[in-house]
Structure 1
Amino acid sequence: MRALLVAAALTLAGCTTVPHEAGGWLAGRLSVEVHPADAPQRRMASGFELQGDGERGELRLTSPLGSIVATARWAPGEAVLTTSDGSTRYGGLDELSREALGEALPLAALPDWLAGRPWPGAESQPTARGFEQMGWTIDLARRDEGWVEASRASPPPVMVRVRLETPG
């Protein structure tokens, strides 16, 4: 479950209409593929709900039936991951991702990436299809269809796809 939570936090998304934002929450579906050189490929998929920003927030991962499988909450200097096994505290989002996936991932950028914009905490470069930031390529070409993809080519390569829900 921890790997799924961290993978979820790497996601990006966009939407043609305003995404589901009941009480400031974004919700949708995500999939993550990690391709380690010395291990089998890992694939994860989950529903998610996200609220907050790179400094403070909460991410919930849900099962296909909608029950919460894992929750991550973060604030300056702390991140807490809660699963059915209990809660684990980390010094921050980088530590949480390093412990869960074996590497630090840019979790603080997630809320801005979900909004289709670069995170203000690092430099970015525009591309023909979106932007690049912190070694990630953010593809916004299908944003009008509700999709955004994030990929990282450096080892291990990672591909993240997210689709935000739209109000029904």
Structure 2
Amino acid sequence: MHFTERLRRYLLHTCLFATFLIAGCAHPTSVKALKDIKKELWTGRISLLVKSEPEQSFSAGFELKGRSERGELTLISPLGNVLGVLRWSPGEAELDSGNQKIQRFDSVDALMAQATGAAVPLSALFAWLQGDDANVSGWSADLSRQGEGRISARRTQPAPQADLRVVLDQ
């Protein structure tokens, strides 16, 4: 065997050995680690029924980005028109409905009440979307179909009662 051929084989074997050695040191991502990764974008449909006199109902497509501390919720009509964009960050919240000047609010709770007709607990909504059963005073969530992309929650107090439904795009 010629020297060049032996050198080539030696290098090939060394590279293969190094590849297997490196691959053996790698740690696969655990299922728990994958579950700990928090999603920051959801799309789907949302509806809210407020059992006031008269009843108020709200339904729209949505795109939700971010987290409960800082994010953006775009509400979309069935025809694809943007109904409004809600943005929030610590200490401020705003509603851009496109045809008016931007409305500013002191809190995201006040913003949600103005936009939807009821104070939807945004921090709990983010938790519910992740599959966490966050407790919020007056609200109870049904996450039994969360794996199918369906969430429902009911507010019993304060009055008026409200029903929230979310269906995620899969």
The alignment's TM-score, normalised by the length of structure 1, stands at 0.69
Kindly provide the CA deviation profile for residues 100-149 of structure 1, in whole angstroms up to 9, marking residues without a partner as x.
56764422332222222145xxxx3xxxxxxxx32211101222332110
Alignment correspondent of 1:159: 163
Task: State the Cα distance separating 1:92 from its structure 2 match.
Answer: 1.2
Q: Superposed, which structure 2 residues align to 1:1-168 within 5 Å?
A: 24-36=40-52, 39-83=53-97, 84-100=99-115, 104-119=119-134, 124=135, 133-154=136-157, 155-166=159-170
Q: Which runs of 4+ in 1 moved over 6 A?
A: none
Task: State the Cα distance separating 1:31 from its structure 2 match.
Answer: 1.1
Query: Whole-Å Cα distance in 1 between the matches of residues 166 and 152 of structure 2?
Result: 7
Q: 1:33 to 1:98 in 2, by over 3 A?
A: closer
8 A contact 2:113–2:120 mirrored in 1: yes
What is the root-mean-square deviation of aligned Cα atoms in Å? 2.0
Look up the SS of the partner of 2:102 in the other structure. strand
8 A contact 2:141–2:152 mirrored in 1: yes
Structure 1's unaligned 5+ residue stretches are 1-22, 125-132
Letter in 2 for 1:142: R
Structure 2's unaligned 5+ residue stretches are 1-38
| Greater gyration radius | 2
**Bigger proportion of residues as strand:** 1
Q: Could you tell me the percent identity over the aligned residues?
A: 41
The alignment's TM-score, normalised by the length of structure 2, stands at 0.69
8 A contact 1:79–1:96 mirrored in 2: yes
**Bigger proportion of residues as helix:** 2
